[in-house]
Amino acid sequence: MALHIDETVAAEAGAGHADPPRGPQRRRRGTLRTWVEIVALAAIAVVMLFPVVWMLETSLKEGRDVYAVPAKILSFDVTLDHYKDVFVQRDGSGTSDLAVSFKNSIIVAGTSTLLATLLGVPAAWAYSRFRMKAKKDQLFFILSTRFMPPVVVVIPIFLMYRDLGLLNTKLGLILIYAAFNLPFTIWMMKGFVDEVPAEYEEAAMLDGYSRFEAFWRYTLPLLVPGIAATAVFALIFSWNEFVFAIFLTSSDSVRTAPPAIAGLIGGTTIDWGLVAASAMVFAAPVLLFAFLVRKHLVAGVTLGAVRR
């Protein structure tokens, strides 16, 4: 009996030594998978960032290097003349038309985003907190205004603006951009408001605050990340919008940057250095705004990931 037990133990021990441990194999597989993912993500990043890098290099090249064959990737003389031409006339007579267009874009996009946020946040709070008849139908109607692309409704809006005297005005662009951003703001902010417990406002009202004061003091501060995320997306739409800007404006003093940059491409010769520099300057304000609100932006995007 004792011999049988010893043989069994020895056999089990031998079998244990015969099978190689799986821990190192799993670690090697995990390391290999990690490196494959890193290489794949690096390749995707290179493909996506290559146009941006090429545009940056083009904006820094002199005219002869822009058209050089083969293309000069590293061995070229750096110049900032194209960026100077974006803001100042080449003859030094004053501010360039591109600089005026960039100023118009900042005014129009910033004001329309602010207006859509000021109107959209209270509306989203009302739809989230109050009971009303046909609430789902109303929300669907609000969302349906974004179903059609701007090019479909630009002609009726043009005729309406002509009768109202809003053609070729910054106010007209601000109103139409705010109108298109408002449904998106309401729908996106309603999801953020739904994540804030209504009990906070109820407790504040028990302490003597009115409903609006409870919203202003307790709910609104918790919505700052969501407001930042919504404002970034609304700003991007207003900043990049092209159809309304080119159909509803005709003078350089009112036109925004997208049609102004597009106007640089045409004719017999194209100054690609100026086009690239204009595009880089045009992308900077949105990137700067997103960088300034990056903490709130990340928190707003992840808000609602864990349900109560």
Give residue 4's pLDDT. 52
pLDDT of residue 28 exceeding 80: no
- pLDDT tens track for 204-240: 999 889 998 999 999 999 898 889 889 988 999 999 9
Give residue 175's pLDDT. 95
Record the pTM.
0.80
pLDDT of residue 1 exceeding 50: no
- The better pLDDT of the pair 269, 264 is held by 264
- pLDDT tens track for 175-194: 999 999 999 999 989 988 98
- Confidence bin at 308 (pLDDT 50/70/90): very low
Interval 248-260 mean pLDDT: 91
In the chain, where the domains are located: 2-79, 97-302
pLDDT of residue 299 exceeding 70: no
Interval 9-16 mean pLDDT: 50
Task: Calculate Rg over the CA atoms of the chain.
Answer: 29
Nearest to 193 by CA among 233, 236, 231, 224: 224
Interval 110-117 mean pLDDT: 95
Query: In CATH, what class is 97-302?
Result: mainly alpha
Cα separation, 113 vs 119, in Å, equals 10
3-state secondary structure (DSSP) of residue 223: coil
| Alpha-helix runs per DSSP H in 89-223 | 97-129, 135-144, 150-164, 170-195, 199-206, 211-214, 220-222
- Confidence bin at 260 (pLDDT 50/70/90): very high
Give residue 20's pLDDT. 52
Q: Are 192 and 303 in contact (CB under 8 A)?
A: yes
- The better pLDDT of the pair 308, 130 is held by 130
Cα separation, 112 vs 179, in Å, equals 8
Number of neighbouring beta carbons within 10 Å of residue 210: 10
Interval 143-162 mean pLDDT: 89
Output the six-digit token pair for 70.
Answer: 């083969």
pLDDT of residue 23 exceeding 70: no
Nearest to 277 by CA among 107, 110, 83: 83
Element containing residue 52 per DSSP (H, E):
helix 23-60
Output the six-digit token pair for 227.
Answer: 């407001």
Interval 144-161 mean pLDDT: 89
Q: Which residue is associated with the tokens 């036109």?
A: 255
3-state secondary structure (DSSP) of residue 308: coil
Please state, for a pLDDT cut of 90, what percent of the chain lies above it: 41
Interval 33-42 mean pLDDT: 91
Measure Cα distances from 206 to 61, 201, 209, 211, 220 in Å: 66, 9, 7, 10, 18
Cα separation, 182 vs 127, in Å, equals 14
Q: How many helices (H) and strands (E) does the chain have?
A: 16, 0
- The better pLDDT of the pair 159, 66 is held by 159
- The mean predicted confidence, pLDDT, of the chain is 85
- The better pLDDT of the pair 249, 268 is held by 249
- Confidence bin at 2 (pLDDT 50/70/90): very low
156 preceded by a cis bond (ω within 30 of 0): no
- pLDDT tens track for 127-148: 999 888 888 888 888 888 888 8
- pLDDT tens track for 69-98: 888 888 888 889 899 999 998 777 788 899
Q: Are 219 and 127 in contact (CB under 8 A)?
A: no
User: Amino acid letter at 67?
Assistant: Y
Element containing residue 45 per DSSP (H, E):
helix 23-60
pLDDT of residue 115 exceeding 60: yes
Interval 241-248 mean pLDDT: 93
